[in-house]
Amino acid sequence: MFSKLFGRKKKDEDPYSHLPVPETPSWAVLGADMHSHFLPGIDDGAKDLNDSLNLLRSMAGLGYKKIITTPHVFIDYHPNTRQTILAAWEKANAAIKEEGIDIELRPAAEYYIDDYFMHLMEKEELLTIKGKEVLVEFSMVYEPPILAQALFNLRTAGYKPIIAHPERYMFFHRDLSKYEELKDRGCMLQLNMLSIAGYYGGNVKHVAEKLLAKGMYDYCGTDAHHEKHMAVLTAMATSRDYHKIAQYPFRNSQL
């Protein structure tokens, strides 16, 4: 059913097939990353400060100059608060300067939309990517009944939601118009680079490429958690997938 709904491109239809594959891995074309899990020991990303520094060195080696790192705020699994995030960021930021890593690190968050989040946005200022732009995610298995209300409440409070990795929400795959609805509600969409690499499977990759072709993405993020992700990002930079990212007008340069 999936292929009947969307169709699949043939390999010879790659619009970038005439461009050379880069010899040196670099994502300097993006400059900034706005979705990652590099703060030490507060979610399912970097385990400790040494792990954080190794990941950030790898990011700097790939040409990134700015990282807006986004630990999970998910009460059931990663019950972070503004205070825990800022404390972890201060620790990591001090270590970056001490180690002389040439990268700017800023704190934000990836908020999970649930009942807890509905109350949280009412009682405190959210950590944002830029201005009032806030990164949010939700269940990948089913559409939350409160999703529409949560997005409306965010907009009413003056925030602009950025939907993290929309290509990974499997329940949207049968109807691409769902993504149009998100845009119509004032949301921005953020591509996971790992999706283009096929890291989450062929269906996710296919939907990501469809959304890219329709020009629906606003930002591009690594969503990097660990060295395995870094290895995939490095390999991507010297593959045909590089041009799918490099040729798209993402807003990362505005961060």
Looking up residue 158, the CATH number of its domain turns out to be: 3.20.20.140
Q: Is residue 196 part of a domain?
A: yes
| pLDDT surpasses 50 at 168 | yes
d(CA 45, CA 228): 11
In DSSP terms, 188 is beta-bridged to: 162
Q: What's the pLDDT score for residue 109?
A: 98
Average pLDDT of the chain is: 94
| pLDDT computed for residue 16 by the predictor | 83
Average pLDDT over residues 219-248: 97
The helix (H) or strand (E) run that includes residue 179 is helix 177-184
3-state helix, strand, coil in the chain (%, to 5): 40, 15, 45
Specify the number of domains making up the chain: 1
Residues 6 or more apart in contact with residue 208 via CB below 8 angstroms: 167, 191, 192, 195, 196
Residue 6 predicted with pLDDT over 70: no
Global pTM? 0.94
**Tens digits of residue pLDDT in 113-160:** 999 999 999 999 999 999 999 999 999 999 999 999 999 999 999 999
For residues 38 and 18, what is the distance between their CA atoms, to the nearest angstrom?
36
Query: What CA dihedral angle connects 123, 129, 130 and 133, to 10 degrees?
Result: -60
- Per the domain annotation, does 69 fall within a domain? yes
Banded pLDDT at 4 (limits 50, 70, 90): very low
pLDDT score, position 226: 98
Tell me the CB-side half-sphere exposure of residue 203, using CA atoms within 13 A: 14
Beta bridge partners of 192: 221
Distance CA 27, CA 12 (A): 25
Specify if 14 maps to a domain.
Answer: no
Mind listing the pLDDT tens digit for each residue in 75-101? Answer: 999 999 999 999 999 999 999 999 999
Domain that holds residue 214: 29-254
